[in-house]
């Protein structure tokens, strides 16, 4: 049985981070980021991304970090067979104290975009939890290719996102217990990855692949008897 799986990358990442996953019996498609329109909401933006999805077939969405947030927004507008978020959150309530403080003070609004990007590069290895020179080089290349306008827009949407409605979807949340960005250790309904940081989709790819493969196998086996 071959299924369509759609990947939604993070803010400080792109489709390269998914290259380390090994998912069985799927056709992989990477959702491409679009340039946000002026004053565009996250909901409206997510609906435009849907044009990249074949809705005539079952849809499996996998989002990492900010991509996990966007994947949840997409799922509000189309039928989803399975939603998997990695190194992400399910609502504003799951943000750690530091992110909530940034959101409430809106300090990110007064920092120029080039400084935001520069500071991301300066602190990325620590906050993403990279474990090798190769990972650091990959992360820096990804940050270098991130559009500053998109980065500023996305940070604003992350800080304003609430998602107060509990999801009724078949959602799997995979989170590292050493994540320094989404660092709330009291999350519920989570599959924890021991010593996993925010970049664990790269350096814990085998473990994450195993989790996803087991989740999909269970889903498809269950559907045989429905």
The parent domain of residue 214 ranges over: 3-223
CA distance 93 to 153: 21
The count of structural domains within the chain is: 1
Angle, helix 133-144 to helix 113-128, in steps of 10 degrees: 160
Q: Which CATH number does the domain housing residue 30 bear? A: 3.40.50.1820
The closest alpha carbon to 172, from 23, 41, 33, 43, belongs to: 23
CB under 8 Å to 223, separation ≥6 — which residues? Answer: none
Query: What is the structure's pLDDT at 81?
Result: 94
- Within a 10 A sphere around the Cβ of 22, how many other Cβ atoms? 12
Query: What is the structure's pLDDT at 167?
Result: 64
Query: What is the structure's pLDDT at 218?
Result: 87
Query: What is the structure's pLDDT at 117?
Result: 66
User: For 127-169, how does the pLDDT look when each residue is reduced to its tens digit (9 = 90+)?
Assistant: 889 999 998 888 888 888 888 889 889 999 999 999 976 566 7
Query: What is the structure's pLDDT at 146?
Result: 82
CA distance 181 to 79: 30
pTM, full prediction: 0.91
For the chain, residues with pLDDT lower than 70 are: 1, 12-13, 111-122, 165-168, 222-226
CB under 8 Å to 164, separation ≥6 — which residues? Answer: 91, 92
């Amino acid at each position: 049985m071959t299924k369509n799986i759609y990947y939604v990358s993070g803010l400080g990442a792109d489709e390269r981070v998914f290259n380390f996953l090994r998912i069985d019996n799927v056709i992989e498609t990477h959702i491409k980021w679009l340039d946000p329109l002026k004053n565009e909401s996250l909901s409206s933006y997510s609906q435009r991304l849907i044009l990249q999805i074949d809705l005539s077939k079952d849809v499996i969405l996998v989002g990492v970090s900010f991509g996990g947030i966007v994947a949840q927004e997409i799922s509000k507008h189309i039928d989803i067979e399975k939603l998997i978020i990695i190194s992400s959150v399910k609502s504003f309530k799951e943000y750690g104290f530091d992110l909530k403080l940034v959101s409430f003070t809106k300090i990110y609004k007064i920092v120029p975009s080039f400084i935001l990007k520069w500071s991301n590069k300066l602190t990325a290895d620590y906050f993403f939890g990279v474990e090798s020179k190769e990972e650091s080089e990959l992360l820096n290349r990804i940050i270098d290719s991130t559009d500053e306008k998109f980065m500023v827009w996305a940070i604003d949407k992350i800080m304003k996102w609430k998602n107060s409605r509990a999801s009724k979807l078949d959602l799997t949340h995979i989170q590292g217990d050493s994540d320094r960005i989404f660092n709330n250790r009291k999350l519920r309904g989570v599959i924890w990855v021991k010593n996993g940081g925010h970049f664990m989709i790269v350096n814990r790819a085998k473990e994450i692949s195993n989790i996803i493969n087991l989740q999909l196998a269970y889903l498809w086996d269950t559907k045989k008897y429905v």
